[in-house]
């Protein structure tokens, strides 16, 4: 079965001969070269590779934060290269959650308010927001820290609030860019287990950009990028011991 | 969403407190300056009207032309009939004849020889009980000692002047001056009281006499330098004064240099340019403050944008459009501007009210001034005081944020992941 974008229904993201180049001075840097991939609903996949391999660039395009130089990227049925900035923002607002390396919580708001923010953009009623935020904080085990400010939270707690913020609107897709880079092993483990649980319980697709072995152990699909090309794409059994 | 923004705004003091203080201080200063300028202008124009030229003045063409060099030989003749005509044609205006004169005050000793002499600046006015001059010149309030002249031959001297001359109440003094025709005139007067106007130019060496006495002393029967008119509400109204002058002059087209003509205070005082400057000064002050505030708030906005770089990046990544982020920055600025302008206006009005009631004594700043102006300058609050700072404060905050917020449009979403990850 195909949807309007010509992509199978279970396919959340697909790229076809994706190229992204950047002009650096007089020379041209090729960040992605002929990347063709598909991600299906419910995947727990990671883009793995050293710095400069193109994983963040690919994540940016999948997240509609950037557009390809050539080739196509279809995200949730929308052709990224054809989206206006406003349409891209609307798609992110409704369907895509982001988790960043440095948490990026809004410092003057409580954990509850940080998680509530994406729902405000969607214009949900106060009662709907309260229900969803409470649920999200419970998913990440921080219902009792709802009133805490980011400065009162540990790194692990902050990242769990960021995860709650990413999933509170029940997006189809969550993109996580080096989510454990600022966390110790124990907190990384907790965070990843939280995301595995959300992936299992909510059916949310997670795509990571990482070179952290702790994250890689949890992936069910590992896509290795080298110099902007897909060097390896393997399904695997997660090793969470 | 607005509530959410307001929460963030007031929790983050660096985002709200500095712009709010900048706005409030700027607005308060604009209100204070405007009120003070209005009060100072009023004081200057009122004092000029009261002591120099009235709101309108009828004098001979030659007298007007001579300006400050005018002498009594250019005085208006047939003053009684001029007054009768003015009272008939302009009944709402308070009319009063005056003559200025100069000369020497000679104070004799007990033997009748000169003990001391001093130049004097004289002012002859109608001192009868029903005269509007009593109110115009605030004579009763200004009495420092003694009483107002009630009998022929009595005069007032400025208090400091009388002390300097060593003249006491009831003492005789002789005015040595010149008649209207240029002859020497001497006339004896008795001091009935001393006055202190609080206007240095008047308090330095003034003599005030009844105009009938001076007409006798200076041989000016039925003559006066000028007839001054004061408009009904006691405030100068340039349009009304111009209309009165045009009407009077239209029935007195005589080109004879001794024929009467009416001039408004704008021209008679030589303060025409000052009228225009003062009119524009408030707008200029508001403009300067608005520009300065806008620049400061623009910079504050830029600093704020730097501080909130991460926050704005996250909002864009989460899916808030650049337009929405920009609009929220403007909404925050409007809220800050609204509160800052309200506080600023209230503070400005409170300070202005204090200056309106208490005033600022400037006599120490101009010990040798010849300007006719009260020693104590006061502010005057007017309906425009409510908006003269409020609107500019609101606009400055808004434009400051509008300019600095444009940076949102320069953010490249492609760089967000990198920026937010670092």
Task: Please tell me the least confidently modeled range out of A92-96, A127-131, B46-50, B312-316.
Answer: B46-50
Region B93-118: mean pLDDT is: 90
Nearest CA in chain B to A59: B417
Residue B363: what pLDDT? 63
Residue A162 DSSP one-character state: H
Three-class secondary structure of residue B109 per DSSP = coil
Q: Quick one: chain B helix, strand, coil %, rounded to 5?
A: 55, 20, 25
CB contact under 8 A, B417 and A93: no
Residue A6: what pLDDT? 41
Task: Please tell me the least confidently modeled range out of A6-15, A72-81, B230-239, B246-255.
Answer: A6-15
* Chain B hits for A121, Cβ within 8 Å: 1, 318-320, 324
Domain chopping of chain A, boundaries? 41-68+77-235
Nearest CA in chain A to B318: A93
- Residue A81: phi and psi, rounded to 5, are -70, -15
Nearest CA in chain A to B316: A89
pLDDT > 80? residue B421: no
Facing residues of B156 across strands?
B193, B208
CB contact under 8 A, A106 and B313: no
pLDDT digits (tens, 9 = 90+) for A167-194: 999 999 999 998 888 788 888 888 899 8
Nearest CA in chain A to B421: A101
Nearest CA in chain A to B328: A121
CB contact under 8 A, B318 and A104: no
Structure tokens at A52: 């400069």
Confidence of residue B199 (pLDDT cuts 50, 70, 90): confident
Region B299-313: mean pLDDT is: 78
The residue that leads in pLDDT, A82 or B297, is A82
Q: DSSP per residue over B45-101, as a string?
A: HHHHIIIII-SEEEEEHHHHHHGGG--GGGPEE-HHHHHHHHHHH-TTSEEEEEEEE
Residue B23: what pLDDT? 87
Chain A: closest CA distance from residue B417 (Å) = 7
pLDDT > 90? residue A240: no
Interface test with A, best of B315, B417, B422 (most A CBs within 10 A): B417
CB contact under 8 A, B12 and A108: yes
Task: State whether residue B304 sits within 8 Å of chain A by CB.
Answer: no
Residue B370: what pLDDT? 46
pLDDT > 70? residue B298: yes
Confidence of residue A112 (pLDDT cuts 50, 70, 90): very high
Candidates B400, B407, B410, B403; CA nearest to B334 is B400
Chain B: closest CA distance from residue A129 (Å) = 12
pLDDT digits (tens, 9 = 90+) for B75-101: 888 999 999 999 999 999 999 999 989
Region B266-271: mean pLDDT is: 72
Residue B171: what pLDDT? 93
CB contact under 8 A, A101 and B322: no
Mean predicted lDDT score pLDDT of chain A: 90
CB contact under 8 A, A86 and B321: yes
CB contact under 8 A, B318 and A165: yes
- May I ask the CATH class of domain A41-68+77-235? alpha beta
pLDDT > 70? residue A5: no
Region A110-139: mean pLDDT is: 94
Region A60-71: mean pLDDT is: 94
Structure tokens at B328: 């929220």
pLDDT > 90? residue A31: yes
The residue that leads in pLDDT, A234 or B64, is A234
Tell whether the torsion through CA atoms of B392, B394, B398 and B404 is positive or negative. positive
Look up the ipTM and state it: 0.86
């Amino acid at each position: 079965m195909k949807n309007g974008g010509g992509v199978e229904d279970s396919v959340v993201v697909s790229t076809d001969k994706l190229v992204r180049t950047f002009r650096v001075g007089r020379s041209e840097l090729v960040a992605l070269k002929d990347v063709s991939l598909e991600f299906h609903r419910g995947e727990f996949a990671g883009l793995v590779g050293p710095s400069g391999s193109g994983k963040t660039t690919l994540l940016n395009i999948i997240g509609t934060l950037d557009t390809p130089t050539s080739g196509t990227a279809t995200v949730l049925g929308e052709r990224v290269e054809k989206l206006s900035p406003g349409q891209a923002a609307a798609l992110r607002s409704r369907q895509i959650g982001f988790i960043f390396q440095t948490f990026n919580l809004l410092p003057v708001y409580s954990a509850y308010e940080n998680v509530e923010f994406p729902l405000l953009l969607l214009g949900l009623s106060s009662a709907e927001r309260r229900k969803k935020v409470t649920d999200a904080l419970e998913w990440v085990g921080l219902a009792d820290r709802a009133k805490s400010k980011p400065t009162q939270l540990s790194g692990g707690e902050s990242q769990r609030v960021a995860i709650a913020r990413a999933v509170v609107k029940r997006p189809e897709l969550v993109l996580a860019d080096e989510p454990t880079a600022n966390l110790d092993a124990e907190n990384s483990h907790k965070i990843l287990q939280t995301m595995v649980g959300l992936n299992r319980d909510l059916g949310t697709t997670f795509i990571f950009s990482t070179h952290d072995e702790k994250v890689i152990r949890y992936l069910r699909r590992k896509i290795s990028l080298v110099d902007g090309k897909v060097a390896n794409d393997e399904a695997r059994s997660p090793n969470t011991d | 969403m607005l509530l959410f923004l307001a929460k963030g705004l007031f929790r983050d003091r660096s985002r709200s407190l500095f712009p709010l203080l900048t706005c409030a201080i700027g607005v308060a200063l604009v209100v204070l300056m405007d009120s003070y300028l209005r009060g100072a202008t009023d004081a200057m124009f009122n004092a000029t009207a009261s002591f120099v030229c009235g709101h309108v003045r009828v004098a001979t063409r030659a007298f007007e032309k001579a300006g400050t060099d005018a002498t009594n030989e250019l005085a208006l003749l047939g003053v009684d009939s001029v007054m009768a005509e003015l009272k008939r044609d302009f009944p709402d205006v308070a009319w009063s004849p005056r003559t200025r004169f100069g000369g020497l005050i000679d104070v004799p000793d007990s033997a009748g020889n000169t003990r001391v002499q001093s130049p004097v600046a004289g002012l002859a006015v109608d001192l009868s009980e029903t005269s509007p001059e009593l109110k115009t010149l605030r004579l009763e309030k200004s009495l420092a000692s003694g009483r107002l002249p009630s009998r022929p031959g009595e005069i007032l001297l400025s208090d400091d002047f009388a002390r300097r001359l060593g003249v006491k109440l009831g003492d005789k003094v002789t005015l040595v001056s010149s008649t209207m025709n240029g002859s020497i005139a001497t006339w004896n007067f008795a001091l009935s009281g001393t006055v202190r106007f609080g206007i240095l130019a008047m308090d330095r060496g003034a003599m005030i006499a009844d105009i009938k006495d001076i007409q006798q002393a200076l041989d000016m029967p039925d003559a006066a330098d000028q007839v001054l008119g004061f408009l009904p509400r006691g405030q100068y109204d340039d349009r009304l004064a111009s209309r009165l002058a045009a009407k009077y002059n239209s029935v007195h087209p005589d080109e004879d240099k001794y024929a009467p003509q009416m001039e408004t205070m704008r021209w008679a005082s030589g303060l025409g340019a000052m009228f225009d400057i003062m009119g524009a000064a408030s707008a200029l002050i508001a403009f300067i403050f608005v520009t300065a505030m806008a620049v400061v708030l623009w910079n504050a906005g830029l600093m704020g944008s730097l501080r909130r770089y991460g926050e704005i990046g996250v909002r864009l990544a989460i899916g808030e459009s650049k337009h929405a982020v920009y609009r929220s920055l403007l909404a925050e600025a409007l809220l800050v501007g609204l509160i800052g302008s309200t506080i600023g206006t209230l503070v400005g009005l409170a300070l202005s009210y204090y200056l309106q009631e208490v005033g600022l004594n400037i006599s120490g700043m101009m010990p040798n001034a010849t300007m006719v102006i009260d020693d104590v300058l006061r502010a005057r609050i007017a309906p425009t005081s409510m908006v003269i700072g409020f609107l500019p404060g609101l606009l400055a905050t808004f434009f400051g944020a509008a300019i600095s917020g444009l940076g949102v449009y320069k953010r490249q979403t492609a760089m967000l992941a990198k920026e937010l990850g670092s």
